[in-house]
């Protein structure tokens, strides 16, 4: 039994969608873990980790069944080179972290004259990517499954420093402006463009700082973007130039316009876009609650906001319908407001999709953090 294990970060549902879009043979074996049968070489793991936005660790499957014994662990540590420490990530209940297994493994190694440090998780029962990379640790993966326990070891962790540089190192970054995290942008671009993005055309009509466009561009797609704000268009321009300069490949053109999203078809050839991927304008982000969250008094205001947003999004879908290829994808984040026990969403947009020339394929897929003032959910629709 050979294969790779993919451990997801903070948005496991979205991360699994991303993996399936690139490799439909993947199977989810745990809320945070998927298994892909086949080749499990370090080289394969390196290629995958460089491509995915939502996977934080990639491991090699070693066995499935009973919890491994300390002798098994110690023989893997003994047979592995290039590690200064070892540790264990347990994907079950924190209370059942098999601390004894790690300790006994260390004792066996010490008995063989190998004094290897072991790491324990700081928080919960999982070693972080940062700890694994910084301490050069061999990380065992133990995942409770239907057949007992899946046992593996980490081959690659997400290059957190490179992702952070992508986020904060770009010339135009304004964390307060509601920028999408680049990892989330990478996930949705992968979902929309699939395994072969090179040469495909992607449009973001609410491009903001160009986070989605830069991720698509760095995967080899041709990108088109629009925004009503001059500032946003020039930020996208700078961020695309920055990414283009870093890829080292021949610079390909991109297309940016200052234009309303409901009129972008005036600037784009008909039926030329493979995928629209966008996080549109979502209205005000602060309400009457102490943390800016909506309260009962905001109900009337929110109903009006939702009415306005529905009109905007429906106008967009009507316009984009002329530029998206038949069978092309629209992946859009839509807002949702939580008011006590009620949720107010832009329901009309989804209800009207068929009439506007689209079929709803998937959604909603949760991505915002639970405490967000305006929740976001992704929907995927396909052009008839």
Ligand X SMILES: C[S@@+](CC[C@H](N)C(=O)[O-])C[C@H]1O[C@@H](n2cnc3c(N)ncnc32)[C@H](O)[C@@H]1O
Q: Which residues bind ligand X (CB under 6 A)?
A: 178-180, 205-206, 208-209, 211-212, 226-229, 232, 260-261, 279, 281-282
Alpha carbons 27 and 370: distance in angstroms, whole number:
26
Of 274 and 279, nearer to ligand X (C-beta) is: 279
- For ligand X, the closer CB: 144 or 364: 364
Q: How far is the CB of 204 from ligand X (least distance, A)?
A: 7
* Residue 273 burial (CB count, 10 A): 26
Toward ligand X, which CB reaches closer, 179 or 189?
A: 179
| Interatomic CA distance for residues 107 and 105, integer angstroms | 5
CA angle 109, 112, 116 (to 5 degrees): 35
Nearer to ligand X, 18 or 279 (CB): 279
Least CB distance from residue 219 to ligand X, whole Å? 16
Q: Distance between CA atoms of 363 and 280, rounded to whole angstroms?
A: 16
How far apart (Å, rounded) are the C-alpha atoms in residues 201 and 188? 14
CA–CA dist 148, 66 (Å, integer): 6
Contact 81, 212 (CB under 8 A): no
CA–CA distance, 213 with 218 (Å, rounded to integer): 9
Which residues sit opposite 329 in a β-bridge? 275, 382
* Beta carbon of residue 270, minimum distance to ligand X (angstroms, whole number): 20
If one counts every other C-beta atom within 10 angstroms of the C-beta of residue 373, the result is 18
**From the CB of 235, what's the least distance to ligand X, in Å?**
8
Q: Report whether 383 contacts 357 (CB < 8 A).
A: yes
Q: Of 45 and 333, which has the nearer Cβ to ligand X? A: 333
Give me the least distance between CB of 335 and ligand X, in Å please. 10
Chain CA centroid to CA 265, Å: 28
* Shorter beta-carbon distance to ligand X: residue 241 or 299: 241
Secondary structure element (H or E) that encloses residue 148, with its range = strand 148-157
Residue placing its CB nearer to ligand X in the complex, 16 or 281: 281
- Total residues belonging to the chain: 384
**Closest distance to ligand X from the beta carbon of 256 (Å):** 12
For ligand X, give the closer residue by CB, 7 or 312.
312
**Whether 264 contacts 318, CB under 8 Å:** no
Exposure on the CB side of residue 346, measured as CA atoms within 13 A: 31
Residue number, 61 or 282, with CB nearest to ligand X: 282
- Nearest residue to ligand X by CB is 208
Q: Is 200 helix (H, G, I), strand (E, B) or coil?
A: coil
Task: Give the nearest distance from C-beta 246 to ligand X in angstroms.
Answer: 18
Shortest Cβ 347–ligand X spacing (Å) = 20
Are 240 and 213 contacting, i.e. CB atoms less than 8 angstroms apart? Answer: yes
Q: Give the residue with the Cβ less far from ligand X, 128 or 211.
A: 211
- Name the minimum Å distance from CB 222 to ligand X: 19
Q: Which two tokens stand for residue 236?
A: 């996208």
Alpha-carbon radius of gyration of the chain? 23
| Cβ at position 229, least distance to ligand X in Å | 4
Q: How far apart are CA 146 and CA 128, in angstroms?
A: 25
């Amino acid at each position: 039994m050979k294969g790779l294990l993919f451990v997801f970060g903070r948005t496991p549902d979205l991360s699994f969608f991303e993996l399936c879009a690139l490799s439909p043979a993947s199977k989810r074996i745990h809320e945070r873990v998927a298994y892909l049968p086949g080749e499990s070489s370090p080289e394969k793991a390196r290629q995958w980790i460089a491509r995915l936005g939502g996977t934080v660790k990639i491991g090699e499957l070693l066995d499935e069944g009973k919890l491994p014994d300390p002798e098994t662990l110690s023989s893997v540590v003994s047979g592995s080179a290039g590690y200064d420490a070892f540790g264990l990530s347990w994907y079950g209940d924190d209370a059942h972290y098999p601390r004894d297994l790690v300790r006994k493994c260390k004792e066996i190694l010490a008995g063989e004259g190998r004094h290897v440090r072991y790491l324990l998780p700081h928080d919960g029962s999982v070693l972080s990517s940062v700890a694994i990379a910084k301490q050069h640790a061999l990380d065992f993966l133990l995942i409770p499954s239907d057949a007992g326990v899946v046992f593996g070891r980490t081959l690659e962790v997400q290059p957190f420093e490179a992702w952070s540089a992508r986020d904060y190192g770009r010339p135009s970054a304004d964390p307060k402006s509601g920028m999408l995290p680049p990892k989330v942008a990478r996930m949705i671009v992968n979902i929309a463009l699939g395994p072969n993005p090179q040469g495909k055309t992607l449009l973001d009509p609410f491009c903001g700082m160009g986070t989605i466009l830069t991720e698509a561009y760095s995967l080899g797609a041709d990108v088109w973007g629009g925004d009503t704000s001059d500032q946003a268009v020039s930020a996208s321009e700078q961020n695309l130039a920055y990414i283009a300069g870093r890829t080292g490949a021949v610079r390909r053109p991109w297309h940016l316009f200052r234009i309303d999203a409901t009129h972008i078809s005036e600037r784009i050839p008909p039926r030329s876009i493979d995928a629209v991927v966008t996080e549109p304008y979502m209205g005000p982000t602060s309400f009457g609650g102490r943390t800016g969250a909506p309260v009962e008094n905001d109900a009337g205001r929110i109903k009006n906001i939702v009415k306005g947003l529905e009109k905007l999004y429906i106008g967009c879908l009507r316009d984009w319908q002329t530029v998206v290829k038949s069978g092309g994808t629209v992946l859009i984040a839509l807002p949702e407001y939580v008011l006590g026990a009620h949720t107010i969403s832009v329901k009309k947009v989804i209800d009207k999709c068929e009439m506007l020339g689209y079929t709803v394929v998937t959604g909603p897929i949760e991505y915002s953090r639970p405490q967000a003032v305006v929740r976001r959910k992704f929907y995927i629709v396909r052009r008839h």
